[in-house]
Amino acid sequence: MQLVFFYELTYKPKKESSKTEKAIGILDIAEKVSIYRDYNLVAQDSILIQAAEKMHKSGFFYDIGKTMKWPAFTFKIKKEYPEMKTILIDGISQKYFGYIDTSPQNWKIENEMDKVTGLSVQKAILDFGGKKWIAWFTNEISFQDGPYKFHGLPGLIVKIEDVDKNYSWVLTGVKKISDFSELSFTEKISGFNDVNIISKDKFEKAYNAFREDPFAEARSRITPQMRTQKMPGSDITVGDLLKQQKKG
């Protein structure tokens, strides 16, 4: 029997902005591992499985994009127990990469107590990732884990936010499940098993380059002859289209 903890994430899409957005993250805790990811990465599994079965039986493909709720974030955080080896994994240019985060989490536990979502909690402070964080953890739930990369307190993190309130997680619910899977249906069919572990520096360089120009790798595979061909039903060539995408 595994447990799933639901966290509401409130975050600012842009720094120094007063606007905030919300997303739901889930922390799956099994015997030897925990997985933190966007809830929508797994919530769509039933829709995708039904659609795949329907298309297989009918032989007809149809677009289910309009019925999907796309995740606010695509990465997932894997923590391997009991060492708490922390791995961030994400897709970069149709491949999956990850890095092991060895950043220390040197918590300072305060004496201050409070109540959050009905749980008795204690305050803790952390400097991590260039930000100062304030967390509230509970001894009522013994897992030394929490949302995102956070872990290492003597109880589950119920709430954590940076002092500037750019990111804030609050535990909103818990559910027991009997069919835990580290991979969602989408991940299974898209080759998520093949994750290339690289250094954090290489990961960030590759990820930033991909965000800046998502079509860079695709362009590298297109031959000069292919670039001169016109797009179906258009006077625009493949080369012109790629140039427009790069400018955009």
Q: Give tens-digit pLDDT for 122-156.
A: 999 999 999 999 999 999 999 999 999 999 999 99
Decide if pLDDT at 219 tops 50: no
What percent of the chain has a predicted confidence (pLDDT) above 90? 53
Give pLDDT, residue 139: 94
The number of CA neighbours under 13 Å toward the Cβ of 86 is 17
Give pLDDT, residue 66: 53
Closest CA to 176 of 3, 30, 55, 9: 3
Decide if pLDDT at 227 tops 70: no
Closest CA to 108 of 84, 128, 94: 128
**pLDDT tens, position by position, 179-198:** 777 777 666 666 666 788 99
The pTM for the full model equals 0.76
The sign of the dihedral angle between the CA atoms of 216, 221, 223, 229 is: negative
Mean pLDDT of the chain: 82
| Tokens read off for 7 | 């966290």
pLDDT band at 92; cut points 50, 70, 90: confident
Q: Name the DSSP class of 69.
A: -
